[in-house]
Amino acid sequence: HVPQRAYLAIGEVDKKVVSPFEYREVFGNVVYDDDEFASKRGLNGLNGMGLTQDAEHGGSIRYWGFGHTFNMLVPVEEFFDEHPEYFSMIDGKRVSGREGNNKYLTLDLVGTQLCLTNPDVIRIVTERIRKSIQEHPECRIFSISQNDCGNYCTCPECARVDAEEGAHSGSLLRLVNAVANDIAQDYPDVIIDTFAYQYTRKPPKLTRPAPNVCVRICSIECCFSHPLAECDHQYEKPTYSYTGMAGEQEEYDPDHTSFQSDLEGWGKICRRMYVWNYNTDFKHYLNPFPNLHVLQKNIQYFLKNGVTGIFEQGNGEDLSGEFGELRYYIQSKLLWEPDGDVDRWMREFMAAYYGMAAQPIREFIDALRNHVTEKGVHVRIYDAPDRGHMPQQLIDLADAKFDEAEALADDDAVLERVRRSRMQVKYCKLFNMSLDDPQRAAACEAFFQEVRHFGFTRIREWKPLEMSFEEIRKGIFQ
């Protein structure tokens, strides 16, 4: 939004802002499709997904692999038949991860991990990281990170190391350190990245990350409607995104600890620590995600505990039918000024984006915030609309406020933005309709027509749009 003024008077300006974060990435298609916008917002991590931001636009920190790279480095398809010992042992048997029935599995998403104490695995990973460094001189960070599932190796040696370290991160970090120490001899400026994610989130007792290792801790299990520093409500089980995999370990580690203790523990031993944080409902992209009021506290908490880079993952597959654009804007501002005036930024953005319609929409946002904070409603990233954050009285209020907003819209462009943001309310209403309601079939088709009108291609992570439509017709919301 570029304001138009006939006369512009500028007084003395003397302001310098230096971001406390070396790596700043806000993940959402509104942001990463536009280098100009990303540059204006001071983001420098968009290349994690293979996009380009050149020096003219402020440069960037480029990743190779980005995340879940075990199967890129030691592919099941290439090695398992001849060397099953390279992969996880579960209940005394090496597993390939192809035994499950998950239709969404890809080459990068397999249901097994690596045997992290196997010398040949360490050798292969080192060789392939070296090759990747040679092939991608534009990249600074190279990721060695677990696949997106459970199934950590329980062979005698991996189990021994993890028991000695008091955490499954022990065997992972020892492998990562071995590779990093080798790489540092010839590439002292390269950073080797790994995860503290789900079963590896807890820091080890003994091993410390090598100086050229970056640990990215992930908040996937957490509640996001309350500040991460203050709320320890988490999923009752680890939140593996892809189920149906061979022997998946769904029980908690008996030494399970809180996100706060894990973050603070890593902060004490890491020279470089990043955070992978979450900002949408992946099973329900159109579900309201009431975290706008905690964004600042979370970033301040990360900074206080030594975090030097942040990846804020929102809906990266599609347009936002919620308040994604507002959230991306505030996050990008906070990554430069963690103590800035969030309320002013919200007013600034909403006035430009929603025009005269901004006030009633802000009133709904405030009502949603008040509800989850006053009632203690915990919202996680795979929750359905019946979680408790959108009771009927709040849906009714939202309808009334969006009616006001549509009536106040400045022009057709603003009206389209208002109506697209209203899709979150319509999704909740459809979710609440009884399967026996005679009007439900017509309501479904009207909703689907609006989804197509606005150009959505995904309303649930990974799932094709028509598959989501068919499930909603049947009352399946998952």
> How confident is the model at residue 244, as a pLDDT?
34
Report whether 430 contacts 447 (CB < 8 A).
yes
Tokens of 43: 């983001």
Residues forming a β-bridge with 234: 222
- Identify the burial level of 466 via C-beta atoms within 10 angstroms of its C-beta, where 0-12 means exposed, 13-18 middle and 19 or more buried: exposed
- What is the C-alpha separation between 40 and 35, in angstroms, rounded? 8
- Helices (H), ranges, 6-155: 29-32, 35-40, 70-73, 76-79, 119-135
Mean pLDDT over 28-34 rounds to 75
Write out pLDDT tens, residues 396-436: 999 999 999 999 999 999 999 999 999 999 999 999 999 99
CA 340 to chain centre: 23
The residue ranking higher by pLDDT, 393 or 34, is: 393
> How confident is the model at residue 2, as a pLDDT?
81
Residue 103 has pLDDT above 50, yes or no: no
Write out pLDDT tens, residues 183-214: 999 999 999 999 999 999 999 999 999 999 99
**Dihedrals phi, psi of 20, to nearest 5 degrees:** -80, -5
Q: Please work out, in degrees rounded to the nearest 5, the angle formed at the alpha carbon of residue 24 by the alpha carbons of 327 and 312.
A: 40
pTM of the complete model beyond 0.85: yes
50 DSSP assignment = T
Residue 277 has pLDDT above 90, yes or no: yes
